[in-house]
Amino acid sequence: MLSNIIQPIADELALVEDMIKKQLIIKSGHIGMFAHLELSYTNKIIRPALVILSSRIYGCDLKKTAALASAFQFIYMGSRVHQGVSENDSDYSRDGCDPRDGSQFPVLVGDYLYGKFFTFLSEAGMLNLLCPLAEIICEVHEGSILRRRLNGQKHSSKLFREVVRKETAGIFAGCCFISADVSGAPKKARELMKKFGLNLGMAYGLMECGVPAEKTAVYLETARNALSLVPRAPEREIMEEIVQYLSGSGVVLRRMVI
């Protein structure tokens, strides 16, 4: 199970989860009352885990690592909320509908989550990362726009894979590349981490869309090959186990309980 694989970084993940949970409480209550924040276990931990593992290989300090992991998770959560916004009338009070199924509150919650990623970067002294993270956010939303044009296209289509690359793989690549960069990794190492994250993200994103694991083998093999050139370390071994886990898995779900 994935929980067993990432056990060596359980303390760091718990710290990130606690940091995030504290930001989900506002004066009006938990923001989950106003937007759907339900995530599968895998989607709760996979992006923070990649940040933590990529940072630890190259020796980034825990404070910056936790802040960056939280920032990436806030970006992911914000994008998921915005992607799920209803296009129907947002005045939910007319028929007593759940406010989470409207548009007004979910849009505001998504904006709030994006704002929190900025706060975490500011407090950790990493505002220099605003530009690359903003580019990732733009890519995610561009992917969501392209998704409207799919019209039932097959998973093997060029457009479908471009949507996955922008919506999912770009964040994975950023988790690995930016974490290595912040940790002082040399250029070649940063590029290897980016290649690893991008291909792992392509496989992950396709499986989220129902593509069988065997159909994503080319991406997982490319990720594995890139990782083999990264300095040998316990963190690299954990990432190799994650690749292996996904190689035989179709367990990724978009929504479950928080």
pLDDT at residue 61 in the model: 85
pLDDT in tens, 18-66: 999 999 888 878 887 777 788 899 999 999 999 999 999 988 788 899 9
pLDDT at residue 43 in the model: 95
Round to whole Å and give the CA distance between 208 and 155: 11
**Which of 15-24, 97-106, 135-144 is predicted least confidently?**
97-106
pLDDT at residue 50 in the model: 97
Round to whole Å and give the CA distance between 50 and 44: 12
3-state secondary structure of 38: coil
pLDDT in tens, 173-210: 999 999 999 999 999 999 999 999 999 999 999 999 88
Per-residue pLDDT band for 88 (boundaries 50, 70, 90) equals low
pLDDT at residue 257 in the model: 35
Structure-model confidence comparison of residues 79 and 104, the more confident one = 79
pLDDT in tens, 203-249: 999 999 888 888 899 999 999 999 999 999 999 999 999 999 998 86
Task: Please tell me what DSSP assigns to residue 97.
Answer: -
**Overall average pLDDT of the 142-170 stretch:** 86
Task: Give the side-chain half-sphere CA count within 13 A for 5.
Answer: 20
pTM: 0.89
Whether the per-residue pLDDT at 98 is higher than 50: the answer is: yes
Whether the per-residue pLDDT at 89 is higher than 60: the answer is: no
pLDDT at residue 128 in the model: 92
Where do runs of H (alpha helix) occur along the chain? 2-5, 10-23, 41-58, 62-83, 104-123, 130-147, 158-164, 170-182, 187-208, 217-227, 234-247
**Overall average pLDDT of the 72-78 stretch:** 94
Round to whole Å and give the CA distance between 73 and 117: 8
pLDDT in tens, 103-125: 667 888 888 898 888 888 888 88
pLDDT at residue 222 in the model: 97
pLDDT at residue 27 in the model: 82
* All domains of the chain in start order, with CATH: 8-247 (1.10.600.10)
pLDDT at residue 230 in the model: 93
